[in-house]
Chains A and B, each alone.
Chain A
Amino acid sequence: MDRETMLTMLRDMLLARAFEERAAQEYTKGNIAGFLHLYPGEEAVAVGVIRASEPGDYIVSTYREHVHALVRGIPPRAVMAELFGRRDGCSRGMGGSMHLFDAERRFMGGYAIVGETYPVAIGIAYGIAMRALDDVVICFFGDGAVNQGTFHESLNMAALWRLPVLFVCENNRYQIGTEIHRHSAVAEVHRRACAYGMASGKVDGMDVLAVHRATREALQRIRGGGGPELLECETYRFRGHSMADPGAYRPKVEVQSFKEKDPVKLAIRETLPYYPTAAEMAAAGPDSIATLKRQASDAGHLDGDVLADLQREVADIVEDAVRFAEQSPEPTLDDAWAALECNRRGEALL
């Protein structure tokens, strides 16, 4: 992987962390209401998966989807304004934290009933297959969602008709407060895919490079007509299920052990010393990893300024997003009626 891509992913992860921590503060201040499910700890999954996708691919996500939306390219201003319930939010203030949408960027939504993402994903994929297009649908879900009937129903149909879907399990080991061994007879989610003859794999969801690599390979196979696949990403959320949940049910030692694997810190460690620029890679030719590493190091890529600059940049972006959200107007009841009747298209009903 070239240094530019790696830096992009590092920046995504830093922005994700900063954005979510700020959202928590704004929630505490009362600027954000309702349910707020935050993503710290799981950044490597959204970033690794979505950065490995093409702009034409569709994303279907859950209610813990702010970071998926940001990585997909929805402006932080529009995401923050949505959390604030304002008119300039990406769902015009009608959806909120759990229901971010962006048709233009093929961000097909945050779904807040557990297990809804599968049927939506196979429906989009059905359309792609029917029209013989090249796009793939990426369907996110958590470990708690694999015991819904729709998981089995939809995986069956996806495999039966060879629909272009990558099912991505963000296995953070807890369905709210119930640990995976207390909710699933088979705790290794990827093994369930074999019931439908579907290829599947497991990856360290704290390692953005590993997630990116596994996703890229899976998407290549799916795009090549190989049928749907399931990728299980083993990850962890550092916070409770939502802002309403202190997460007291988890042993401190467990939380601590996962924090030592903080995906953002891991990405920082990975990025700075090793990654050459695309130009350097091209110039070096094949079998040159060792050389490139030395060159990159000699060229000053260890320079801590890069990291400091990135952190400053994302802090500014988040600050700007909050200012924007604060100033965005409240939607009106007329806006709500317009959203409800958005598909009327002038049709006379009576």
Chain B
Amino acid sequence: MSGEVFYWQALNRALDAELALDEGVFILGEDVGLYGGSYRVTEGLYAKYGEWRVRDTPISEGSFTGLGVGAALIGLRPVVEIMTVNFSLLALDAIINMAAKVPFMAGGQFPMPLVVRMPGGVAKQLAAQHSQRLEHTLMNVPGLRIAVPATPQDAYWQLRQAIRAEEPVIVLEHELLYFAKGPLDEGAAPPPMHRALLRRPGRDLTIVTYSRMVDLSLQAAERLAEKGIEAEVIDLRSLRPVDWDTCVASVQKTHRLLVVEEDCGFAGAGAELVAGLTERCFYHLDAPPRREAGLDMPTPYNGTLEALTIPRPSSIVAAARALLGQAAEPAGGPS
């Protein structure tokens, strides 16, 4: 069955499917139950499955995420929703010190089928405390897996795969993707959870990106095509592990690498991607790799400034042209 759905609806259907399939699955988080979820992701599930399976929690990120760790230790499959990635800073002890480490420290005796879902990224003028991207923090933690779905199709299947995994999985969603629409085929066999996908074939450069930046990179690629530049766009879909092989194959073909990330550039996700691909493809590169990343500053509230702090199609186009040794587009074009 296929059709167009919102990203949030795809997540909702994935949760519904797994709740129905396995009685050990339960959801917990702030306003996930009666209210239906801040972004509607858990809409209707409280009425269908009851309060023990869809649990509204107090505002206690550290302890309800830790509750998920405890429940996962005895084989339940908790799906913790943290309202935004910014609040997960209060839950990093549970995620980093416990979920990622307890099975290891116990010498492999315990399962940890924990899923932590949270949206991140710059949305619409939410100011610095509500606009962070923390993927770099989580990427540096052995023991975690990180999915970054960019489409409803991936949101649906990667969440289902995350719930079924016996390891802790962070699902990083994006606040501006919840109301993006795309096709969903619940019957299609999904690719492996962490495999990168080629979203657009190209010849002249490889754009490696993830989450909301996939769509922006595809828009940029269309504009580049108008100038005769064919960019290959790879949607990573996962930040830990990274599907190096798919990226390497592309860079070996195009000989140029541009990483597009919403994360701040300094020590961000792109730093690892560029380093990892440079190590693997150094002799195939015709130019130094580039990163088009968020500016190294807290996100300003002002809307005009906010837009300037993260990549947009025009800046991706400019970065791509610079990578190819071409002059920037004349000013005054579409942003």
Chain A residues close to B by CB (< 8 Å)? 58, 60, 89-95, 99, 101-103, 108-109, 111, 113, 116, 118-127, 129-130, 149-150, 153-154, 156-157, 160, 335-336, 338-340, 342-345, 347-350
How many Å lie between the Cα of A76 and that of B72 in the bound state?
Answer: 28
> Which B residues are CB-close (under 8 A) to A91?
105-107, 109
Determine how close the nearest CB of chain B comes to the CB of A72; give it in whole angstroms. Answer: 14
Sample (12) of A-B pairs whose CB atoms are under 8 Å apart: A89-B107, A103-B109, A118-B66, A119-B62, A120-B73, A122-B63, A150-B63, A150-B66, A153-B62, A157-B60, A339-B104, A342-B108
- Residue in A closest to B28 when the chains form the complex, CB atoms: A126
> Which B residues are CB-close (under 8 A) to A343?
103, 111-113, 165-167
Are B58 and A157 in contact (CB-based, < 8 A)? yes
Partner of B52, one of A129, A150, A340: A129
Partner of A153, one of B58, B74, B167: B58
Determine how close the nearest CB of chain A comes to the CB of B196; give it in whole angstroms. Answer: 8
- Residue in A closest to B108 when the chains form the complex, CB atoms: A342
Are A149 and B74 in contact (CB-based, < 8 A)? no
How many Å lie between the Cα of A91 and that of B105 in the bound state?
Answer: 7
Partner of A119, one of B65, B76, B104, B193: B65
Assess A94 versus B104: contact at CB under 8 Å? Given A129-B52, A130-B76, A350-B241: yes
How many Å lie between the Cα of A113 and that of B241 in the bound state?
Answer: 27
How many Å lie between the Cα of A60 and that of B102 in the bound state?
Answer: 12
Are A116 and B103 in contact (CB-based, < 8 A)? no
Are A116 and B107 in contact (CB-based, < 8 A)? no
B65-96 with Cβ < 8 A to chain A: 65-76, 78, 93-94
B243 within 8 A of A: yes
How many Å lie between the Cα of A99 and that of B72 in the bound state?
Answer: 18
How many Å lie between the Cα of A308 and that of B200 in the bound state?
Answer: 80
Assess A156 versus B66: contact at CB under 8 Å? Given A94-B106, A343-B111: no
> Which B residues are CB-close (under 8 A) to A127?
70-71, 74-76
- Residue in B closest to A125 when the chains form the complex, CB atoms: B70
How many Å lie between the Cα of A153 and that of B91 in the bound state?
Answer: 12
> Which A residues are CB-close (under 8 A) to B67?
119, 122-123, 126, 154, 157
> Which A residues are CB-close (under 8 A) to B238?
349
Are B195 and A153 in contact (CB-based, < 8 A)? no
How many Å lie between the Cα of A70 and that of B165 in the bound state?
Answer: 33
Partner of B70, one of A120, A153, A338: A120
> Which B residues are CB-close (under 8 A) to A121?
70
Determine how close the nearest CB of chain B comes to the CB of A68; give it in whole angstroms. Answer: 15
- Residue in B closest to A139 when the chains form the complex, CB atoms: B70
- Residue in A closest to B90 when the chains form the complex, CB atoms: A149
> Which B residues are CB-close (under 8 A) to A349?
145, 192-195, 238, 241
- What 14 new A-B contacts, CB under 8 Å, besides A119-B70, A343-B113, A347-B166? A94-B106, A101-B102, A119-B69, A120-B69, A123-B67, A124-B73, A130-B53, A157-B58, A335-B107, A343-B166, A343-B167, A347-B165, A349-B192, A349-B238
> Which A residues are CB-close (under 8 A) to B65?
119
How many Å lie between the Cα of A348 and that of B108 in the bound state?
Answer: 19
Assess A350 versus B104: contact at CB under 8 Å? Given A102-B109, A120-B73: no
Q: Which of A89, A101, A119, A157 has the most CB of B within 10 A?
A: A119
Determine how close the nearest CB of chain A comes to the CB of B56; give it in whole angstroms. Answer: 10
How many Å lie between the Cα of A92 and that of B103 in the bound state?
Answer: 11
Q: Which of B64, B113, B194 has the most CB of A within 10 A?
A: B64
Are A123 and B70 in contact (CB-based, < 8 A)? yes
B interface size (C-beta, 8 A): 52
* 0 or 1 for each of B7-31: is its CB under 8 Å from A? (1 = yes): 0000000000000000000100000
- Residue in B closest to A344 when the chains form the complex, CB atoms: B167
> Which A residues are CB-close (under 8 A) to B39?
none
Are B98 and A350 in contact (CB-based, < 8 A)? no
Assess A103 versus B106: contact at CB under 8 Å? Given A123-B70, A153-B58: yes
Are A350 and B192 in contact (CB-based, < 8 A)? yes
Are B192 and A99 in contact (CB-based, < 8 A)? no
B245 within 8 A of A: yes
Determine how close the nearest CB of chain A comes to the CB of B79; give it in whole angstroms. Answer: 13
Assess A95 versus B111: contact at CB under 8 Å? Given A116-B98, A153-B62, A157-B64: no
B142 within 8 A of A: yes
How many Å lie between the Cα of A349 and that of B62 in the bound state?
Answer: 29
Are A94 and B66 in contact (CB-based, < 8 A)? no
Are B63 and A113 in contact (CB-based, < 8 A)? no
How many Å lie between the Cα of A160 and that of B55 in the bound state?
Answer: 12
Are A101 and B107 in contact (CB-based, < 8 A)? yes
B282 within 8 A of A: no
Assess A94 versus B76: contact at CB under 8 Å? Given A116-B66, A154-B63: no
- Residue in A closest to B113 when the chains form the complex, CB atoms: A343
Are A123 and B110 in contact (CB-based, < 8 A)? no
> Which B residues are CB-close (under 8 A) to A94?
104-108
- Residue in B closest to A151 when the chains form the complex, CB atoms: B63
Are A340 and B106 in contact (CB-based, < 8 A)? no
> Which A residues are CB-close (under 8 A) to B194?
349-350
> Which B residues are CB-close (under 8 A) to A101?
102, 105-107, 109-110
Determine how close the nearest CB of chain A comes to the CB of B264; give it in whole angstroms. Answer: 27
- Residue in A closest to B193 when the chains form the complex, CB atoms: A349
How many Å lie between the Cα of A91 and that of B195 in the bound state?
Answer: 33
> Which A residues are CB-close (under 8 A) to B145?
349
Partner of A124, one of B70, B106, B112, B245: B70
Partner of B71, one of A102, A123, A342: A123
Determine how close the nearest CB of chain B comes to the CB of A329; give it in whole angstroms. Answer: 14
Determine how close the nearest CB of chain B comes to the CB of A102; give it in whole angstroms. Answer: 7
- Residue in B closest to A347 when the chains form the complex, CB atoms: B165
How many Å lie between the Cα of A125 and that of B94 in the bound state?
Answer: 17
Closest 7 CB pairs of A and B: A123-B70, A119-B66, A92-B107, A342-B108, A153-B63, A153-B60, A101-B106
Determine how close the nearest CB of chain B comes to the CB of A13; give it in whole angstroms. Answer: 27
Are A92 and B93 in contact (CB-based, < 8 A)? no
> Which A residues are CB-close (under 8 A) to B66?
116, 118-120, 122-123, 150, 154
